[in-house]
Chains A and B, each alone.
Chain A
Amino acid sequence: MSDDSRPAIRRDAAGIAAYAAAFGASFGAVSVASGLSVWQTMVLSLVMFSGASQFALVGVIGSGGAGLAAVPTALLLGVRNAFYGVPLTRILGRRSLAGPRRLVTAQLVIDETTAMAVGHDERPAQRYAFWVTGVLLFLLWNAGTLAGAVGGSAIGDPATLGLDAMIPAAFLALLWPRLRTAEGRWVAAGGALVATVLIPLVPAGVPVLATAPIAVVAGLLPRREATR
């Protein structure tokens, strides 16, 4: 890697991490508003460390779902992180994956670190981008979460500040880039319809889970037809 690419990578990573601090703060505030304690909120940011899954878990709990109903939703949203392992194991090489280092590396495998790593061409730059982004983001996401959770605990009624609107807006913003394809729009429309219809019929948490088969069908069908 040429030496001058390191400052640029650090600048990008710092930008992402600063943003993560603010996003983490909103997560912390929403989480305590949904009925979780500051400690529970921190366990989510430290151990789960994956924004969409974290928002999903507190969203389902906040809407009155039994705690366990929220678990499969968070897990299914976390499945994509497993697939980031494919490009990242190639990029990171054996040293980052040997023995106990693998346990640390794995925790940093998320949307942002993957995007930063695959966004560079040379191996050393890719590795540097992964580690700098991962470590900075982890620190600031958790610092932000703590500030938001502690601050949020001091707020009387979260609805007054419109914090409940943050959750669907966050989901929508995460969904938005995936609506560029027609397939994405159909799957999203199907998911919204199925979940809405099921709200009065099944316990909280289940309507969201029931959308997963739509993804399975969409993922398996069209490509096979196209190859015939």
Chain B
Amino acid sequence: MTDIWVAVVVASVGCYLLKLAGVSLPPSVLERDDVQRVAAMLPVAMLAGLVAVELFDDAGALGLDLRLLAGVAAGVVALLLRQSFLVVIIVAAATTALLRALT
């Protein structure tokens, strides 16, 4: 429990300090082209990594819950149909819940 508290407080304060740095640092530091490009690509690589871990991490081993995968696939369909963020995650959860109830 304490471990989670430390993570929550450290990460929260850290994220706040990043915002504060953004409105405090001289723009020349943040306006460098290569710095901006790395910053733009960071969430792309990490969000993709997070999706993979959520799907394929079974307590530290590679594994796959097909009902979870089907839920996320339904979310992808919603994304392709240009549905809003909220619709996407609700469709994913509902699909997974339905498949769990049936199987």
Interface residues of A (CB under 8 A from B): 19, 22-23, 26, 35-37, 40, 43-44, 47-50, 52-53, 56-57, 59-61, 63-64, 66-68, 70-71, 73-86, 88-90, 92, 97, 102-103, 105-107, 109-110, 159-176, 178-179, 183-184, 187-196, 199-200, 203-204, 207-208, 210-212, 214-216, 218-220, 223
For residue B42, give the distance in angstroms from its CB to the closest CB of chain A. 4
SS class, residues of chain A in contact with chain B: helix
For residue A189, give the distance in angstroms from its CB to the closest CB of chain B. 7
**Which residues of B have CB within 8 Å of A110?**
19
Choose from A75, A89, A161, A187 the contact partner of B11 (Cβ within 8 Å).
Answer: A75
List CB contacts (< 8 Å) of B1-44 with chain A: 1, 3-16, 18-25, 27, 30-31, 33-34, 36-44
**Interchain residue pairs with CB less than 8 A apart (21):** A37-B1, A40-B4, A50-B19, A52-B43, A57-B7, A57-B8, A57-B11, A82-B21, A82-B30, A90-B27, A102-B23, A109-B22, A161-B97, A162-B92, A165-B72, A167-B54, A196-B53, A204-B57, A207-B49, A208-B49, A219-B39
**Most A CB atoms within 10 A — which of B48, B68, B95, B100?**
B48
For residue B43, give the distance in angstroms from its CB to the closest CB of chain A. 6
Q: How many pairs of residues, A versus B, come closer than 8 Å at their CB atoms?
A: 324
Beta-carbon contacts of B72-91 to A below 8 Å, as 1s and 0s?
A: 10011001000011101111
Find out whether the CB atom of A174 lies under 8 angstroms from the CB atom of B47.
yes
In the complex where A57-B11, A106-B23, A215-B42 touch, is A35 in contact with B89 (Cβ < 8 A)?
A: no
Q: Which chain A residue has the least Cβ–Cβ distance from B27?
A: A86
**Which residues of B have CB within 8 Å of A219?**
34, 37-41
Choose from B30, B42, B75, B101 the contact partner of A212 (Cβ within 8 Å).
Answer: B42
Q: B51 in the interface, Cβ–Cβ < 8 Å?
A: yes
Q: Which chain A residue has the least Cβ–Cβ distance from B9?
A: A43
**Which residues of B have CB within 8 Å of A189?**
48
Find out whether the CB atom of B54 lies under 8 angstroms from the CB atom of A59.
yes
Choose from A75, A207, A210, A220 the contact partner of B14 (Cβ within 8 Å).
Answer: A75
For residue A220, give the distance in angstroms from its CB to the closest CB of chain B. 6
In the complex where A53-B11, A168-B54 touch, is A187 in contact with B45 (Cβ < 8 A)?
A: yes
